[in-house]
């Protein structure tokens, strides 16, 4: 398991609070995620500030629009020097191909481009309400195949589906939100799993938020989680 397999979600409302939290972490132990609320509030300045602190950044904006618009957004994100960015796989092959073409083929010089399959806040009933038949695992499998076909680097899925992703598409990375410690509440997530179980299931990167950011000593918590993963 990579020493920086953990991605800490900086789910803060503004630049100052995000930087304050980041300063409590260690870029040698983790990467960080910037989502919609923080980026809408702070804009590219937060990416620059996190880079100045030594962090690699996952820009989690889940682009989903017409192909030309998504291509432009991906180009703009790549210019920021982010480590990873994502789009919704349900945008379809034209959109996914446009995103891939916009930032170039997979290489060390461009961000990892990953596709969101089914949000971890959704269960089978939530998915059915959107008109998608079948269980979440089936939809994840369909969209993972599409992401692979379009040359993306990986997918966002729950840790419950990571094992199937690894078995069927070993070249793809799996980014798994919904990671909770055994003592934590699931909060607004549905398909959750502990870090140890997620790694056993084949997760490449674990997105962890409140379990780390809500701890009295976030770095100590990170070290405890990493230690728990060394025996997996």
CATH number at residue 106: 3.20.20.70
Establish if 47 belongs to a structural domain. Answer: yes
Could you confirm whether 12 is annotated as catalytic? no
Considering 62, 75, 166, 223, which one is annotated as catalytic? 62
Residue 21 exposed, middle or buried by CB count within 10 Å (0-12, 13-18, 19+): middle
Establish if 169 belongs to a structural domain. Answer: yes
Q: Quick check: 145 pLDDT over 60?
A: yes
Q: Quote the pLDDT of residue 183.
A: 63
Q: Quick check: 149 pLDDT over 60?
A: yes
Dihedral, CA atoms, 159, 32, 67, 123, nearest 10 degrees?
30
Q: Please give the residue range of the domain that contains residue 103.
A: 6-229
Share of the chain above pLDDT 70, in %: 93
Q: Quote the pLDDT of residue 10.
A: 97
Q: What is the CA radius of gyration of the chain?
A: 17
Establish if 1 belongs to a structural domain. Answer: no
Establish if 115 belongs to a structural domain. Answer: yes
Average pLDDT score over the chain = 92
Confidence of residue 190 (pLDDT cuts 50, 70, 90): low
Task: For the chain, list the strands marked E by DSSP.
Answer: 6-9, 31-34, 57-63, 84-88, 112-116, 154-156, 173-176, 205-208
Q: Quote the pLDDT of residue 14.
A: 97
| pTM to 2 decimal places | 0.92
Q: Quick check: 105 pLDDT over 90?
A: no
Number of domains in the chain: 1
Q: Could you tell me which of 182, 172, 126 has the C-alpha nearest to residue 146?
A: 172
Tokens of 85: 């960015």
- As a whole number of angstroms, the distance between CA 2 and CA 204 comes to 8
What is the DSSP secondary structure assignment for residue 110, as one 8-state letter?
Answer: S
Over residues 90-102, the mean pLDDT reads 98
Confidence of residue 1 (pLDDT cuts 50, 70, 90): low
Q: Quote the pLDDT of residue 180.
A: 74
Q: What residues have CB less than 8 Å from 180, skipping those under 6 apart?
A: 186, 189, 192, 193, 194, 211
Confidence of residue 121 (pLDDT cuts 50, 70, 90): confident
Dihedral, CA atoms, 111, 6, 151, 103, nearest 10 degrees?
-10
Q: Quick check: 109 pLDDT over 90?
A: no
Residues 24-81 pLDDT 10s: 999 999 999 999 999 999 999 999 999 999 999 999 999 999 999 999 999 999 999 9
Q: Quick check: 7 pLDDT over 90?
A: yes
Q: Quote the pLDDT of residue 93.
A: 98
Q: Could you tell me which of 91, 31, 104, 37 has the C-alpha nearest to residue 63?
A: 91
Q: Could you tell me which of 66, 117, 69, 120 has the C-alpha nearest to residue 89?
A: 117
């Amino acid at each position: 398991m990579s020493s920086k397999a953990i991605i800490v979600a900086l789910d803060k409302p503004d630049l100052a609070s995000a930087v304050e939290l980041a300063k409590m972490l260690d870029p040698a132990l983790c990467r960080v995620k910037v989502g919609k609320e923080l980026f809408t509030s702070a804009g590219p300045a937060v990416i620059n500030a996190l880079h100045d602190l030594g962090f690699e950044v996952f820009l989690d904006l889940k682009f989903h629009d017409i192909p030309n618009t998504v291509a432009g957004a991906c180009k703009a994100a790549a210019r920021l020097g982010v480590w990873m960015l994502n789009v919704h796989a349900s945008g379809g092959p034209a959109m996914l191909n446009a995103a891939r073409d916009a930032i170039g083929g997979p290489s060390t010089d461009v961000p990892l481009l990953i596709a969101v399959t089914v949000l971890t806040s959704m269960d089978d009933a939530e998915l059915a309400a959107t008109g998608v038949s079948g269980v979440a695992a089936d939809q994840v499998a369909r969209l993972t195949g599409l992401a692979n076909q379009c040359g993306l680097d990986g997918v966002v899925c729950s840790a419950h589906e990571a094992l199937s992703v690894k078995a069927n598409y070993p070249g793809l990375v799996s980014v798994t939100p919904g990671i909770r410690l055994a003592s934590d509440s699931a909060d607004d997530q549905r398909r959750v799993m502990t870090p140890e179980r997620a790694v056993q299931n084949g997760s490449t990167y674990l997105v962890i938020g409140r379990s780390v950011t809500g701890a009295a000593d976030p770095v100590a918590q990170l070290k405890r989680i990493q230690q728990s993963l060394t025996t997996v």
